[in-house]
């Protein structure tokens, strides 16, 4: 399987799986952000995952900015929107898909695939 195909599959999972949990919570609680953060940091394990995601998101923003500038990736705002509205689980594979596509268009030999 090509990396681009794998990244697209991860985009699907990265959008569906988080919302599979979030949509029922919103249906029950509405967009009650104080409750959301209270529950996110309700114990040390959930706080561990919350902090991990926040640091990962910040790191991803820096990586996306530098890499998209370096490779001149078109539509580089799309993973940022994905990060804000879904999270790292969608933004990272989407950006990696876009990065692979950009590398293929620029120089086919850079992706490990033979030039055609």
At residue 31, the 3 state secondary structure works out as: coil
Cα angle, residue 94 at apex, residues 93 and 100 outer, rounded to 5° = 85
pLDDT tens for residues 39-79? 999 999 999 999 999 999 999 999 999 999 999 999 999 99
10 falls in which pLDDT band (50, 70, 90)? very high
pLDDT tens for residues 76-109? 999 999 999 999 999 999 999 999 999 998 875 5
Per the CB < 8 A criterion, the answer to whether 96 and 8 are in contact is no
1 falls in which pLDDT band (50, 70, 90)? confident
Two tokens, residue 65: 């900015």
Sequence spans of domains, the chain = 3-105
């Amino acid at each position: 399987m090509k990396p681009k195909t794998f990244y697209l599959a991860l985009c699907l999972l990265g959008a569906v799986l988080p919302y599979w949990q979030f949509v029922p919570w919103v249906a029950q609680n509405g967009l009650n952000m104080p409750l959301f953060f209270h529950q996110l940091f309700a114990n040390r394990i959930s706080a561990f995952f919350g902090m991990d995601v926040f640091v990962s998101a910040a790191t991803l923003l820096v990586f996306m900015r530098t890499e998209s500038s370096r490779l001149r990736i078109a539509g580089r705002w799309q993973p940022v929107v994905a990060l804000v509205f879904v999270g790292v689980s969608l933004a990272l594979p989407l950006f990696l898909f876009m990065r692979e596509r950009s590398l293929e268009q620029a120089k086919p030999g850079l992706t490990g695939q033979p030039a055609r």
